[in-house]
């Protein structure tokens, strides 16, 4: 039984597929050589990666490094042992694709149920499980559900990576190294203590129960008395598809990036991983790979700096830079290197028309950190590790600020919905609210979050666990709560008022 194949769309380019290049982007090696030469020259002149301590403040150093980049930098680095690329992020991109696949499937449920119905307990949750648990690699045959202006190099999940799933990388699943015990310390979803896994599975169950009810002709109603045909839309205004997708971007991608791969809380893990030798049979050191895995979860294309914000957001600019770019000119888009996923896309969306440049800040810090690793041939010195931590802090802060700006964006959308009064559109408001809430749950996963625990808790008290409807008697006070939540974020992340008002 595979309802997925009935319900989801199939942008299938398998007939066009070719084997993966074994030595991709030879031009990058030229670039790397050039960049390393320039860096070496620069370091001799100014001590960019040496021990001098004249500018130890994060702001000064990150600003200095920003000015060195010219937009042509590509996140591609050869192995210290030879010519092969040492950047491998297939597992991270596979999880981005699984999150997108799950979202597409949940989105398609309304039409699927109209055609076939869902009548048995376990029928839907077992399909969600294909993406979420992917036991025995059953997700490998699932189609890639994103698309681009050129054919994609990969047609299904197995073309990206094998043996990957979402659950194993969800907050609370790593045996060591997570900065909280997520079974007991996860907050933001009401009084009951749920783990992130339990919360996701609860949402899956809610959707299934509603799907069975709809199939049996028992539909719920919105507060306005409209019948709800969608199994992923609750009568209280929860859009489970949006909640699930946005929460997974936080609880898998952001959590793994910032609490695991870029953290320094455990000897031998994250940025304290081994850098003395290549991992056996691989072209990278553990430290290089850890850094790259975090970059993969940020989701940017390798030549992200070459895009304008409009181009990443597919809202203008050059025709061949629209969310993706055929960097190696093989007339197809390689999802592992030529496509902007999730967080990197949202960073550019927020930058568009605003004072921030979170997209460049994040990428530049990832790039500079990786360049440092590529230019060292043994364990990092104390000074090098200090420098790497500065790049780490810069990347993580820009990444989190992009998420926070996105929460502000959806708070503003909810404020507009509330202002519509009785004319509001229920599904639209539910979608905006659920995107806001799903992303807002992310901040707790960063051990370096600018939000204190108290502020995080306060934020979620203000947002609540369901939207207050615009024609409800509490709408005015809920509107005040959203404004207070927005101010809390603006103050914690040092956003400019004009950005906050217009995101
Ligand atoms: Ca950690
Ligand atoms: Ca290509
Ligand atoms: Ca930007």
For 174-190, write each residue's pLDDT tens digit: 999 999 999 999 999 98
Whether pLDDT at 87 is above 80:
yes
Residue 44 inside a domain? The answer is no
| CA 357 – ligand 3 centroid, Å | 4
Half-sphere exposure of 174 (CA within 13 A, CB side): 21
SS3 call for 104:
helix
Kindly indicate the confidence band of residue 119, based on its pLDDT and cuts at 50, 70 and 90: confident
Ligand minimally distant from the alpha carbon of residue 330: 2
The residue behind tokens 């004319």 is 423
Residue 39 inside a domain? The answer is no
DSSP state, residue 223:
T
Residue spans of alpha helices (H) in 216-255: 240-248, 255
| CA 153 – ligand 2 centroid, Å | 7
Selection from 38, 96, 48, 40 nearest residue 72 by Cα: 38
pLDDT score, position 226: 96
Ligand minimally distant from the alpha carbon of residue 309: 3
pLDDT score, position 118: 87
Task: Report the number of distinct structural domains present in the chain.
Answer: 1
- CA–CA separation, 90 and 293 (whole Å): 9
pLDDT score, position 25: 35
Residue 70 inside a domain? The answer is no
Whether pLDDT at 36 is above 50:
no
Mean pLDDT for all residues in the chain: 89
Helix axes 125-132, 196-215, angle to 10 degrees: 140
Residue 8 inside a domain? The answer is no
Residue 236 inside a domain? The answer is yes
Counted residue by residue, the chain has a size of 503
Q: Give me the phi and psi of 43, to 5 degrees please.
A: -70, -30
| CA 272 – ligand 1 centroid, Å | 11
Cβ atoms of residues 411 and 485 within 8 Å: yes
| CA 155 – ligand 2 centroid, Å | 14
SS3 call for 132:
helix
Which range among 37-41, 101-105, 160-164, 465-469 shows the weakest confidence by mean pLDDT?
37-41
pLDDT score, position 322: 98
By percentage, how much of the chain surpasses pLDDT 70? 87
SS3 call for 58:
helix
What average pLDDT score do residues 363-378 get? 96
Ligand minimally distant from the alpha carbon of residue 312: 3
Residue 357 inside a domain? The answer is yes
Dihedral of the alpha carbons of 143, 145, 150, 156, in degrees to the nearest 10: -20
Domain that holds residue 225: 79-502
Residue 436 inside a domain? The answer is yes
pLDDT per position as a tens digit, 211-224: 999 999 999 999 99
pTM given for the model = 0.88
Selection from 4, 402, 439, 400 nearest residue 243 by Cα: 439
| CA 152 – ligand 2 centroid, Å | 8
| CA 10 – ligand 1 centroid, Å | 38
What average pLDDT score do residues 320-349 get? 98
Residue spans of alpha helices (H) in 420-496: 426-440, 453-463, 475-493
């Amino acid at each position: 039984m595979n309802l997925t194949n009935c319900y989801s769309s199939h942008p299938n380019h398998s007939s066009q597929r070719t084997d993966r290049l074994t030595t991709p982007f030879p031009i990058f090696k030229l670039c790397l050589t050039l960049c390393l030469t320039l860096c070496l020259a620069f370091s001799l002149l100014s001590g960019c990666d040496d021990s001098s301590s004249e500018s130890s403040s994060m702001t000064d150093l990150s600003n200095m490094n920003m000015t060195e980049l010219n937009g042509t930098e590509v996140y591609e680095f050869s192995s210290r042992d030879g010519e092969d690329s040492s950047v491998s992020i297939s597992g991270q991109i596979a999880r981005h694709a699984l999150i997108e696949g799950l979202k597409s499937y949940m989105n398609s449920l309304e039409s699927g149920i109209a055609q076939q119905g869902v009548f048995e307990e376990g029928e839907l949750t077992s399909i969600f499980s294909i993406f979420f648990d992917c036991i025995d690699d059953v997700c490998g045959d699932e189609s890639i559900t994103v698309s681009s202006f050129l054919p994609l190099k990969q047609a299904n999940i197995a073309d990206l990576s094998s043996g990957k799933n979402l659950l194993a990388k969800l907050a609370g699943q790593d045996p060591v190294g997570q900065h909280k015990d997520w079974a007991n310390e996860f907050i933001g979803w009401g009084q009951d203590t749920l783990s992130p896994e339990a919360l996701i599975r609860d949402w899956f169950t809610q959707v299934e129960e509603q799907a069975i009810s709809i199939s049996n002709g028992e539909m719920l109603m919105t507060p306005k008395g409209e019948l709800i045909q969608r199994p992923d839309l609750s009568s209280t205004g929860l859009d489970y598809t949006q909640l699930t997708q946005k929460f997974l971007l936080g609880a898998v991608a952001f959590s793994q990036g910032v609490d695991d791969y870029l953290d320094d809380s455990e000897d031998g893990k994250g940025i304290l991983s081994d850098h003395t030798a290549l991992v056996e049979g691989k072209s990278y050191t553990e430290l290089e790979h850890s850094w790259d895995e975090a970059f993969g979860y940020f989701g940017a294309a390798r030549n992200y700096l070459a895009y304008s914000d409009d181009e990443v957001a597919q809202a203008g600019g050059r025709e061949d830079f629209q969310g993706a770019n055929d960097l190696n000119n093989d007339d197809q888009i390689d999802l592992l290197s030529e496509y902007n996923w999730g967080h990197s896309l949202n960073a550019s969306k927020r930058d568009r028309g605003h004072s921030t440049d979170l997209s460049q800040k994040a990428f530049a810090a990832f790039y500079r950190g990786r360049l440092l690793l590529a230019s060292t041939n043994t364990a990092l010195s104390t000074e090098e590790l200090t420098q790497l931590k500065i790049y780490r802090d810069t990347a993580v802060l820009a990444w989190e600020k992009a998420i926070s700006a996105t929460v502000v964006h959806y708070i503003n959308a909810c404020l507009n919905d509330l202002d519509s009064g009785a004319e509001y559109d229920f599904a639209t408001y539910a979608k905006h609210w659920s995107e806001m809430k799903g992303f807002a749950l992310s901040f707790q996963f960063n051990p370096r979050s600018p939000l204190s625990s108290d502020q995080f808790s306060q934020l979620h008290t203000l947002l609540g666990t369901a939207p207050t409807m615009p024609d409800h008697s509490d709408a005015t006070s809920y509107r005040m709560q959203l404004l207070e939540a927005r101010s809390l974020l603006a103050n914690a992340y040092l956003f400019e008022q004009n950005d906050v008002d217009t995101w």
